[in-house]
Structure 1
Amino acid sequence: MSNTIRVLGISGSLRAKSSNTGLLRAAAGQLPEGMEMQFANLIDLPFFNADLAERPAAVQAFFEQLKQADALMLACPEYNYSIAPALKNAIDWASRYPDNALLAGKPVAICGAGGGMGTSRAQYHLRQVCVYLDLHPLNKPEVFANAFAGGFDADGNVTDEKIKSNLAAQLLALKAWSLRLKG
């Protein structure tokens, strides 16, 4: 890890006006000193298929982003009480890299925007996946945003100051967690 903590933001939503992608944009605008963020684009990532003899270009590009990342920030939509397929597919691809080298040991912040309870059920399911893959998710603070209570504009951008404050606190915790794990 360099002096700058490189965070890869991964949104599980493919929608252009996604509130989950909006959470990542808001987070990128509030990064503490010593952190930078890139975004993964999952739109061209094909479904994982172990029969593919060569990794498609979109998979290779995603792997390169993961190689450069010191930490991950996952924006986790909730589909049917679980992780959105785009996010799970990206994780499945990454987990097949030799020795799980792209994921194992990386610190992770999880946030999500959805209905009434935010994306709490999907986030807890995602934490189970993280355990298996030796990812190290933050325990606190958790960020569950209600996407339909006026905290986002029509383009998915965060307008609510409390959500922004929660994201800022989570980024500070991710920075401290990353430094501690680097230790």
Structure 2
Amino acid sequence: MATNVLTLIGSLRRDSTNRQLAEATIANSPAGMAVEIFEGLETLPFYNEDIDVEGQVPFSAIKLRTAAEAADALLLVSPEYNGTIPAVLKNAIDWLSRPFGASAVSNMPTAVIGTAAGRSGGKGSQDEARKAVDIAGGYVLETAKLSIPNSLVRFAEVHPKDDAEVVGQVTEVLERIRTATEECRKQLVESN
């Protein structure tokens, strides 16, 4: 059975190194795995319970929730903005966490990776993303991490998909996602 991975990118910039890192996951996804980047986070309004009611949910929120419900796993690719998670990514997690008790990411295997200009590679923001997804009900894969430092220098002339070290690291993250997804499927079958 194929593994479908929905990818959310915390940077809206067209040429961001995090978008390039997400592209590297697509280019290096193993056979039997489909990695898809969700487009449209910039159209998602800030989460507001007043508009999260039947008949008023914005189309962009419906589109995001539908994509998450169709996925087997979630991959968040996050830069670091002022030491924490970008608002657009946190907002997407907020939309996915609702309605309360029916989170679109409930028990969904989730990995968080990213790159940033600083020495930590955005580790602080990625930890915040893990925390938010965990509280939203996702199954955070603590063993599937990747924080690449000095992105502006490292990827100035080389796309992450052409960096042998990054390719190896991305492949390892994707394999861990696949393993977790298979374990979740097995548990679901056993519980039924």
Same fold per superposition (TM over 0.5)? yes
CA distance in 2, matches of 1:35, 1:91: 23
Indicate if the aligned counterparts of 1:19 and 1:152 stay in contact, CA closer than 8 A: no
Which residue is 1:137 aligned to? 140
**Residue 99 (structure 1) shift:** 2.1
Which residue is 2:112 aligned to? 110
In structure 2, the CA distance between the partners of 1:141 and 1:57, relative to structure 1 (3 Å rule), is closer
Indicate if the aligned counterparts of 2:5 and 2:36 stay in contact, CA closer than 8 A: yes
Percent of residue pairs identical: 27
**Residue 142 (structure 1) shift:** 1.7
Cα shift readout 1:83-141 (whole Å, capped 9, x = no counterpart): 11000000111111352331110001110110221011111122221221221122224
Larger Rg: 2
Counterpart check, 1:57 vs 2:55: no
Q: 1:12 aligns with which of 10, 13, 16?
A: 10
CA distance in 1, matches of 2:155, 2:143: 21
| TM-score normalized with structure 2 length | 0.87
Q: What RMSD in Å do the two structures reach over aligned CA positions? A: 1.6
Indicate if the aligned counterparts of 2:93 and 2:133 stay in contact, CA closer than 8 A: no
Counterpart check, 1:151 vs 2:155: yes
Q: Which has the higher helix share?
A: 2
**More RCO (CA 8 Å, sep 6+):** 1
1:58 aligned counterpart, secondary structure? helix
Residue 122 of structure 1 aligns with an amino acid whose one-letter code is S
Indicate if the aligned counterparts of 1:100 and 1:133 stay in contact, CA closer than 8 A: no
In structure 2, the CA distance between the partners of 1:180 and 1:56, relative to structure 1 (3 Å rule), is same
Residue 85 of structure 2 aligns with an amino acid whose one-letter code is I
Q: 2:102 aligns with which of 96, 100, 121?
A: 100
Counterpart check, 1:89 vs 2:87: no
